[in-house]
Structure 1
Amino acid sequence: MTTGPISVVGASSPTATSAERLAELIGAGTLHPPMYASLATGIQGLVSDGRLGVGVRLPAERELAAALGVSRVTVSAAYGRLREAGWADARQGSGTWTQLPATSGVVAAWVPGGPREGVLDLSYAAPPGPPEVTDAYAQALTELPRHLGGHGYTPLGLGELRARIAERYTARGLPTTPEQVLVTCGAGGAVSSALRAVLGAGDRLVVEHPVWPNALDVARELRARLVPVPRDLASGPGFVTAAHRAARQTSARALYVVPDFSNPTGATLTEGDRRSLMVSMQQQEVTVVADEALADLALDGQEPLAPLAAHGRPGAVLSAGSISKAVWAGVRVGWLRAEPDVIARAAAAASRDHGSFSLVDQLAACALLDGYDGIAARRRVQLRAQRDALVTALREHLPGWEVPVPPGGQSLWCHLPPGVSSSVLVDTAEELGLRLATGSRFGAGHAFDDRLRLPFTAPVADLERAVELLVEATGASAGRSPAAPRRHLV
């Protein structure tokens, strides 16, 4: 059993963050007396939510002091406080490094933390699992014996599962063969594989903004240079125009976009926007990574649109999908749809990491896909009712909030009243038993502290209770300084 702090520093060259980058993430204007404590809390929060990795070397004290406009003594005291609490470690001759205390309970990635008694957790957007999951795994176990005579490795994915996924793409208007499908660990694994296939250090990646945090984390790990393009429910064709301009001006290598019901805003590209976007990106030889994990969650009776890749030439789009959003996040089965040469490279890279994906999970996924349309339809009915209940409660009890209603997806992207800090509100809400994610976690930099994502994946009673706690937190947080507080994992 590990009793010491958790550190991730391997034999390879260590990573570091510059003083300017760390100052940007913290925000000098958010620091308040005592300055050293505020700075330490800010750095701890960045490590907690994954924006500052574990095993990263912090800037020299003098450099960070200059970047933040504070004294070197302040930075030295902040580093000392982090070391005392187990969030950093000093090494002779090599500076100060981030780490995790063994008792922190933090994963330092964009996944939910463990359940805590008495805490209503809306920091993630994932509904409870339907009964079909149990049935699917029972069926998988009955089919498992016919595979036991082999070695059990399926580096590309189980053939029958890849065939089912290909059939679904074909039915949606994108002819696909099993050779164009790689089974992954959820849509996150597919997005990660896609970005790794197209990006190198220094390449520019255009991203919708706000954006799913894990995509940002992978891009930063690859040392890509982010080019944010604003996108929300009101963007419409303006997003396509802005993405075109951003790609042209920066010579971007790739674009990451969620065509359907983007997380967190719920924005969707129309059929015309999809065609225009693909014309633009192909003209500039920009590869599109399309995250389609939420494509089946249209909540207002809309007809499903064709995948983005249906509007591009072969190889122009790498498509990520998953059954986790409509079914259950505990079924970690996703896929990457691309040309066979990309699939082969991605599979080779993935197999070096984990060898192969669980055969039992893939057999269960086959059963779930066979009944997927019915499961997804019931999920849409459930999410629609929960969305409407949450919107009603917010407009009744927090009328100063702007609450755009998304046509699908799993969350609201709320605009807070002037002077209300998402960071402060989230920190205060946690003290009252409500766990949320700060708006800034969805930004490339120190953006969106005036926004808050609220998933509507929980039962109606829990959502109404969450609004009650938000009302209480709003009152309790009045007058507090936005001191870069704890941004817990989700």
Structure 2
Amino acid sequence: MDPFDTTAISAPELAARIDPSTLRNRSGGPLYLEIADELRRLIESGEVSAQTRLPAERALSISLDVSRVTVASAYKHLREGGWISAQRGSGTYVSPTGSLPSWGSLAGDRDTATLEFVNASPSASPLLADAYGVASEKIRDRFPLGGYAPLGLYELRESIAAYYRGWGMPTTAENILVTSGATDAIHAVLATFTEPGARVLVEHPTYPGVVELVHSLGGRCIPVPIDPDNTDEFVASADRAARQSAPTLAYFMPDFSNPSGARLPLRTRRQLSATMHRHAVLTIVDEVAADLSVDGSPDIEPFGTATPDVATVTIGSTSKTVWGGLRVGWVRAEAGLLARVAATYARRQLSVSIIDQLAAIELLGRYDEVRQVRTEASRIARDHTVALMRDQLPDWHFRVPDGGLAPWCSLPDGIRSSVLVAEAHAHGLLLAPGLRFGTGYAFDDRQRIPFTRSLPEITSAVEILARLSSENTPAPAVASSTPAAVV
């Protein structure tokens, strides 16, 4: 058995990413160092993720058309720097990014003295209590029944279908599977379509839970860099990654992506959807944040509307607009695809809580009001956070998000997220390290700061970060062959 639950990259694929023709056009140092530098760049950027098994020296030397000694020397150089490790009889692996806990356990058990800023999850909508009041009355009529609804209550599936029809996306109840939150929906879809060794395109940075899940299923994430200010380039990068890696799946967040905040314009999302369909890539579209416009920007046509329905599977949830404790999510897909996902989900879950589903029906019946309440609260919290950070953290750079739930910040030189998060934890502030949003060693220079807590909590969190940021002196230069330390 392999020493890690891991995936592998073939010698031809790795050689294509290294591009030996560019190596020979360089001048200066030995060829093995140039190969090592390219490998390190791929690991840092996340293009080759942690715990990936690398090709054997002989196979890579053939694909690169260099001597085996050259590849052996490059591997040796990277081993000495801690980037890769060799396991006798098992192969060579990209070193893991430290002993970080799973994404779901980062927040841990918090008491009232702890500031929990790991999850970008807002407090409950003020409309939630009334919805549960109505649900508690309506559920009495269901007590004589068995209490299971494997696909979800028909009334709820029809309400969700009506929500998509309102977006201009033809949908019936037969296109909807109700799940216990978006995470369950993502798990069901990925578990259905991810074969061992499968490659999954993900925007980079991305939601950490997806990276963990793909890896646990034996797949490998192929990162596609995304810049909120240049989304057209994202389409070109995704096209290039699809040609090079032959993925079977893609996971994108076209509206207020977590954590980058990127939102794809109409033309861009149509081009991206058509590009994935042309490459026969099934696109999983996470629209959990689609209704989180802070500045009142208009809705945009849902991703995949202009392409065949079999090309897209959409994930939705009430967790961000209503409350994370209301465990109602869903999958929207063409009937044939949905049947496969439903079969997978049935092995995991017999039914979502009936009272939660009844509450969700009430809330979807007042969804315009739900969205308006969340928008107003988010705008106040966003503006409060931005003003504090500009005043107390002037060296932190970020794009003011026009939607979503958090700014994605560039840290000042000399400050690493992994170190900052550990120091903040000691002061009662829990944060997710930037590394968690990537597939390799990327984003240790980034930090996500959710504006989903109360205004006093946000104030306290920024004060702690300002104090820690001022106390941190620039770290001494680290040799290029040594990976960033991970806490």
TM-score between both structures, scaled by the size of structure 1:
0.77
1:215-274 deviation digits (Å, cap 9, x = unpaired): 111111111121100113223211111111111121111111001000001100100011
Instruction: Give, in whole Å, the separation in 2 of the partners of 1:477 and 1:429.
Output: 12
Residue pairs, 1:416-431, within 5 angstroms: 416-431=411-426
Pair 1:194 & 2:205 matched: no
1:143-184 deviation digits (Å, cap 9, x = unpaired): 112222222211111110000000000110101010000001
TM superposition shift of 1:66 = 9.7
Pair 1:69 & 2:80 matched: yes
> Gapped runs of 5+ residues in structure 1?
1-12, 22-50, 54-63, 76-97, 99-103, 486-490
Stretch of structure 1 that moved more, 136-145 or 169-178: 136-145
Residue pairs, 1:228-267, within 5 angstroms: 228-267=223-262
Select 1:484's aligned residue among 458, 483, 486.
486
**Kindly tell me: are residues 431 and 307 of structure 1, through their superposed partners in 2, closer, same or farther at Cα, counting changes over 3 Å?**
same
1:431-484 deviation digits (Å, cap 9, x = unpaired): 122111100000011110000000011122221221110011123443678642
**Kindly tell me: are residues 70 and 302 of structure 1, through their superposed partners in 2, closer, same or farther at Cα, counting changes over 3 Å?**
closer
Report the counterpart of residue 407 of structure 1 in structure 2.
402
2:407 is matched by which residue type in structure 1? L
Stretch of structure 1 that moved more, 188-197 or 417-426: 188-197
Instruction: Give, in whole Å, the separation in 1 of the partners of 2:202 and 2:119.
Output: 21
CA contact (8 A) 1:197 1:342 kept: no
Pair 1:305 & 2:316 matched: no
Instruction: Give, in whole Å, the separation in 1 of the partners of 2:132 and 2:221.
Output: 40
TM superposition shift of 1:19 = 12
Pair 1:280 & 2:282 matched: no
Residue pairs, 1:259-408, within 5 angstroms: 259-408=254-403
1:352-371 deviation digits (Å, cap 9, x = unpaired): 11222111111111111112
CA contact (8 A) 1:394 1:467 kept: yes
Instruction: Give, in whole Å, the separation in 2 of the partners of 1:107 and 1:376.
Output: 31
TM-score between both structures, scaled by the size of structure 2:
0.78
Q: Secondary structure at the match of 1:387?
A: helix
> How many positions carry a matched residue from both structures?
404
Residue pairs, 1:35-74, within 5 angstroms: 68-69=79-80
Report the counterpart of residue 175 of structure 1 in structure 2.
170
CA contact (8 A) 2:7 2:197 kept: no
TM superposition shift of 1:384 = 1.1
Report the counterpart of residue 158 of structure 1 in structure 2.
153
1:396-423 deviation digits (Å, cap 9, x = unpaired): 1111111211210001000011121011
TM superposition shift of 1:128 = 0.8
Q: Secondary structure at the match of 2:377?
A: helix
**Kindly tell me: are residues 436 and 445 of structure 1, through their superposed partners in 2, closer, same or farther at Cα, counting changes over 3 Å?**
same
Report the counterpart of residue 16 of structure 1 in structure 2.
4
Stretch of structure 1 that moved more, 440-449 or 349-358: 349-358
Residue pairs, 1:207-246, within 5 angstroms: 207-246=202-241
1:158 is matched by which residue type in structure 2? L
Stretch of structure 1 that moved more, 446-455 or 240-249: 240-249
CA contact (8 A) 1:331 1:361 kept: yes
TM superposition shift of 1:116 = 2.4
Q: Secondary structure at the match of 2:381?
A: helix
Instruction: Give, in whole Å, the separation in 1 of the partners of 2:105 and 2:236.
Output: 30
CA contact (8 A) 1:262 1:268 kept: yes
1:218 is matched by which residue type in structure 2? L
Pair 1:438 & 2:439 matched: no
CA contact (8 A) 2:261 2:407 kept: yes
CA contact (8 A) 1:19 1:67 kept: no
